Amino acid sequence: QVQLVESGGGLVKPGGSLRLSCAASGFTLSDHYISWIRQAPGKGLEWVSYISSSGSIIHYADSVKGRFTISRDNAKNSVYLQLDSLTTEDTAVYYCAKLLNRFDPWGQGTQVIVSS
Amino acid sequence: DIQMTQSPSSLSASVGDRVTITCRASQRISTYLNWYQQKPGKAPKLLIYDASSLQSGVPSRFSGSGSGTDFTLTISSLQPEDFATYYCQQSYSSPYTFGQGTTLEI
């Protein structure tokens, strides 16, 4: 069964950091582009970042550029999203998804709350 | 960036109704358009990709059409499990933007 599972979310103070992980099962993560998408409470979906299968191509949304870093460890079948300099505007559920001109499948999401 | 605009933002309908949701791109995107369904507390689920291709396992009452800048998602006969929020998303160019969502309510 093709599945993605996120972890690493939690409560963090403004200015703090978190590292999110996305683990795959049922397929070889290293063969695929992976993306992060977030959803603020009661709001719509916002694409955040993606990374190519080799890690050589990376894109970020302007809203997170310079603060978030996407990376991958294909040996561990995992993709990561390092979140630095967090603000309350980053409070959201963060999803990872396989990207092949569409996002599918999605993980169940991990919640990030930025609050003092 | 390509802006995606959905209409309506919300829609009241009944079981058995035929429903159409529209998505407009701010520039031409060929058929690089996907549709997702999201239920409360759940991750989005891919319904339609490349504007009109039905994702495996998705009921045939869902269909998509369009190209260029104007796209539609049609549900031919609403079922109780279809009441959810629907998003369009362009995959023509990064950043991969979503529409603001259409909430389908009873």
Per-residue model confidence (pLDDT) at position B81: 95
pLDDT digits (tens, 9 = 90+) for B64-102: 999 999 999 999 999 999 999 999 999 999 999 999 999
Under 8 Å between Cβ of A5 and A22: yes
What average pLDDT values come out for chain A (116 residues) when binned by 10 residues? 94 98 90 96 97 95 97 92 98 97 96 97
Contact B95 A45 (CB under 8 A): no
In 3D, which of B53, B93, B57 has the Cα closest to residue B73?
A: B53
Phi, psi of B60 (to 5 degrees): -70, -5
> Do B32 and A101 meet the contact criterion of CB atoms below 8 Å apart?
yes
Which helix (H) or strand (E) element contains residue B103? Answer: strand B102-105
Q: What is the structure's pLDDT at A114?
A: 98
For residue A98, what pLDDT is reported?
96
- Residue B106 confidence (pLDDT): 80
B→A interface, C-beta within 8 Å: 32, 34, 36, 38, 42-46, 49-50, 55, 87, 89, 91, 94-101
Q: What is the mean pLDDT of chain B?
A: 97
Mean pLDDT of B31-37: 98
Which residue in chain A is spatially nearest to B96 when comparing CA positions? A47
Work out whether strand B70-75 and strand B19-25 pair parallel, antiparallel, or are unpaired. Answer: antiparallel
When pLDDT is averaged across residues B21-28 and rounded to a whole number, the result is 98
Give the total residue count for chain A.
116
Which residues of chain A have a Cβ shorter than 8 Å from any chain B Cβ?
35, 44-47, 50, 59, 61-62, 95, 101-109
